[in-house]
Structure 1
Amino acid sequence: MINSIKKLGPGLLFAGAAIGVSHLVLSTKAGGDFGFGLVWALIIINLIKYPFFEFAPRYTLSTGKSLLEGYREIGKSILIVYFLLNVLTMFTIQAAVTSVSAGIATKIFGFESNLLVSIGIALLCFTIIIIGKFDFLDKTIKLFVFALCICTMITAFVSLNNATEFNLNQVFPMNNLELIFLVSFMGWMPGPLDISIWHSLWSLEKKKINPELTFDNFRFDFKVGYLLTLIMGLVFISLGATVLYNSGTNLSSNGSVFAAQLINLYTSSIGENWFYVIAFGAFFTMLSTTIATLDASPRTMSLTCKILNFQFGRNQNFWLIILTLGTCLIFLFFSTEMGFLIKIATILSFVTAPLYAILNFILVTKKNMPKKYRPKKIIRIWSFLSIIFLLAFSFAYILTLFL
């Protein structure tokens, strides 16, 4: 059992990165607004995105190359676009997840300044990564993911046990606001498709540390991580459905304020004795995302610079320092613009999802992909239909911007 856990790594990092704002905020809000009515949407979007996330370890472990190196073989312009998109979004995304982590920490420990706590968490994660490197991150994230799963599942169990009734009927949103939420919910669950790039780099790093790990080990690791994102999505929906549904509570659109509201609501509903279980479940949910994103963005940027033969930015620590400083500067000088910055990052993430899906599909079906590792016909058909859905989905999201 312990040996099996030691073999896990990139899949749990993937889960740690994915189970963040999308689950804590959107899944809980889905439960609060629709009860269990959007479980169908959660399951469908997990099925649609599954092949493209799975293609990351499939391609990387069968070729020994990252997705970024594969993209370069398709075309240099793709990597240049990826580099520019990352520059536009990574600071905002990092600031957003760090801010929510800080909001929860402030609630737990009674700190007065969310600004100082946000900067403190950014520096803590920076220290863990720059001193501990990947091996320490790999071990740390297992503890974080384990803690968030245990705390959140206990909270959900108690919440379900205390619920007098709940409705399992599935619903389809009808008005404009509900449709906009559905599009956002499905767009962020279980995570943006560019996380597949992070996963491929983490897989390469894990293979360097444990060269004895096989292709099947990595596929199993991914499936564990992906299944966790689905289970935790269902858990957070159940929390929203049992505590918030029909409560008439007006929840904030600000992530950190929203998290604090959730802790208060769960505590008042379930009982004061459960405060720390609830709060630490939320905290570890966001802390795992914060540290995973802070490791992933510099890792991808440094490799992109190397592949493109840039004369700068080839060192991962360079980008780690830049990202940490940039995040802190947003807290200090641009906190009032966070909503606008997050909206831009969201739009770019949704619109580019079909691109990453198509690129990942091309890589695993190319002739230079080892034949025995190419996806079977049923997976190719599944992927093709999913790409059509993602294209339609991105178009629908663009339409919601004008509703």
Structure 2
Amino acid sequence: MIPSVKFRTFLKTLGPGILFASTAIGVSHLVQSTRAGAEYGFALVGFILAANLFKWPFFEFGSRYATATGRSLIDGYQMISPWYSRLYLLINLLSMFFVNAAVTFVAAGFLQNLFAIYPPPAFYYVPSLVLLCFSFGFLALGRYSLLDTGIKIIGSFMLISTLLAFFIALFKGPQSPVVYEPFSKWIGLESLPFVIALMGWMPSAIDSSTWNSLWTMERSKQSGYLPSVKETVFEFNIGFWTSAILSLCFVVLGAYLLYGTENSLPDNNVGFASGVVRLYAAQLGSWTFPIIAAAGFTIMLGTCIGVMDGYARSTARVISVMQGREQKPAAYLWWLGLITLGGFLVITLFMDAFNQLLSLATTISFLIAPVIALLNYRLVFSDHLSKADQPGTAMQLLSLAGIGFLVLFSLVMMYYSWWG
């Protein structure tokens, strides 16, 4: 009887962790992790593991803080200082259009590949516009309830199809011997921008930790159940570490199918999507083509919807908090519309520079990561949370190490950009 009760309460909590994983497993995994394996074999696995490990506390803090206090991280920023809320709003405004454009642009490539859609040059933007409008309509009509249900379906298909492709690749073996290259393979300055971009969204941008806190609160409202901090953290960790494991699966797929061969991935969204799907299908068996194509599209569709909701929800919230009044229902819809329009305009500017768009978006995310990490650390290890609700000493030490890690690589990136 006790296990069944625990399982039922877990189902009432289940949602935000899956939503996080579905949002994370997009560009960082499908694009960047695959490229890492294709171009460097397993040489960058250490960076991927480090990014997942050192960012983990700051995402976990979002879910922990929301359950322990009944407030979002954004509310916490305002309570410490109004300047933190203003800083967070600035970060959102600097990144939302580029991030939304990047994930939509990639998703449009997989949409075109899945349904063999090849519009004439004059209408090259139509697939991206369709996805932006679909995401807007999906969220405007269903809000969190439809988001929660849809992401669970998308996430399940994504997990099954990705693992299927991964195990088939392991069974068949690599196309060319894959070895762990010495440091000299990637330590050169020419590789640094890719390494920074890879870690920028691995597994996701740290500013999306505020989304976790908002989603956690919405899930409690939807289910009518207020979980304990332990239950919330457990549910979130399932989603987080699932996404971490899948990032390694994509590295293996890229390494086994591309590394050491004459094949490469094109520098445009349709070419990249087609290249990934057709290469996987050619090596894993032609029967896998619809599975790989559908998996790629559903992965990116889930990311598109999650990213748009996260930015709209968090921006509407931070503005209402700064104004000191209840959030108006129309504010969420207004920001959804603005993000849709802004993302579309960015796509029209970067249509012929696929990799540059991804690098710009991921680099922005990486450079602002230390700021959000510091804010989250200060909130969780404060009198906002009781000692019982705060993480243990090991997590505190890991979070301090994570802040150091993020600051170090941000400084390296700035040095390379200005003086390298």
**TM-score bracket relative to the smaller structure:** over 0.9
Q: Does 1:61 pair with 2:61? A: no
Q: Work out which of the residue numbers 313, 337, 352 in structure 2 matches 1:299.
A: 313
1:83 corresponding residue in structure 2: 89
- Equivalent pairs counted in the alignment come to 403
1:139 corresponding residue in structure 2: 149
1:227-306 alignment, distance < 5 Å: 227-306=241-320
Conserved? CA contact 2:267–2:355, under 8 Å = no
Conserved? CA contact 1:130–1:317, under 8 Å = yes
**Which structure 2 segments of 5+ residues have no match?**
none
Conserved? CA contact 1:104–1:259, under 8 Å = yes
Q: Work out which of the residue numbers 223, 229, 232 in structure 2 matches 1:210.
A: 223
Q: CA deviation at 1:346?
A: 3.3
2:339 corresponding residue in structure 1: 323
2:101 corresponding residue in structure 1: 95
2:238 corresponding residue in structure 1: 224
Q: Work out which of the residue numbers 197, 208, 212 in structure 1 matches 2:210.
A: 197
Conserved? CA contact 1:56–1:67, under 8 Å = yes
1:194 alignment partner, SS class: helix
Amino acid at match of 1:133: R
Going from structure 1 to structure 2, the CA distance change for 1:26 and 1:339 (only over 3 Å counts) comes to closer
1:276 alignment partner, SS class: helix
Q: CA deviation at 1:334?
A: 6.1
Structure 1 window deviating more from structure 2 (295-304 vs 3-12): it is 3-12
Distance in structure 2 (CA, Å) of the matches to 1:247 and 1:336 = 26
Conserved? CA contact 1:37–1:169, under 8 Å = yes
1:386 corresponding residue in structure 2: 402
Distance in structure 2 (CA, Å) of the matches to 1:123 and 1:33 = 35
Conserved? CA contact 1:39–1:170, under 8 Å = no
**Which structure 1 segments of 5+ residues have no match?**
none
Distance in structure 2 (CA, Å) of the matches to 1:381 and 1:311 = 37
Conserved? CA contact 2:109–2:271, under 8 Å = yes
1:174 alignment partner, SS class: coil
Amino acid at match of 1:160: L
1:111 alignment partner, SS class: coil
Structure 1 window deviating more from structure 2 (106-115 vs 126-135): it is 106-115
2:22 corresponding residue in structure 1: 16
Q: CA deviation at 1:368?
A: 2.9
Cα deviation digits, residues 72-119 of structure 1 (max 9, x gap): 122212221221222222122112211111111111111122522211
Conserved? CA contact 1:313–1:319, under 8 Å = no
Q: Work out which of the residue numbers 360, 374, 387 in structure 1 matches 2:376.
A: 360
Cα deviation digits, residues 209-242 of structure 1 (max 9, x gap): 1232412221111011101111110110111011
Conserved? CA contact 1:125–1:291, under 8 Å = yes
Distance in structure 2 (CA, Å) of the matches to 1:26 and 1:333 = 22
TM-score, L = length of structure 1 = 0.93
2:37 corresponding residue in structure 1: 31
Cα deviation digits, residues 308-334 of structure 1 (max 9, x gap): 118999511111122123333444566
The CA RMSD over aligned residues, in Å, is 2.3
Distance in structure 1 (CA, Å) of the matches to 2:353 and 2:277 = 26
Distance in structure 2 (CA, Å) of the matches to 1:342 and 1:161 = 32
Q: CA deviation at 1:50?
A: 1.0
Q: Work out which of the residue numbers 180, 187, 192 in structure 2 matches 1:169.
A: 180
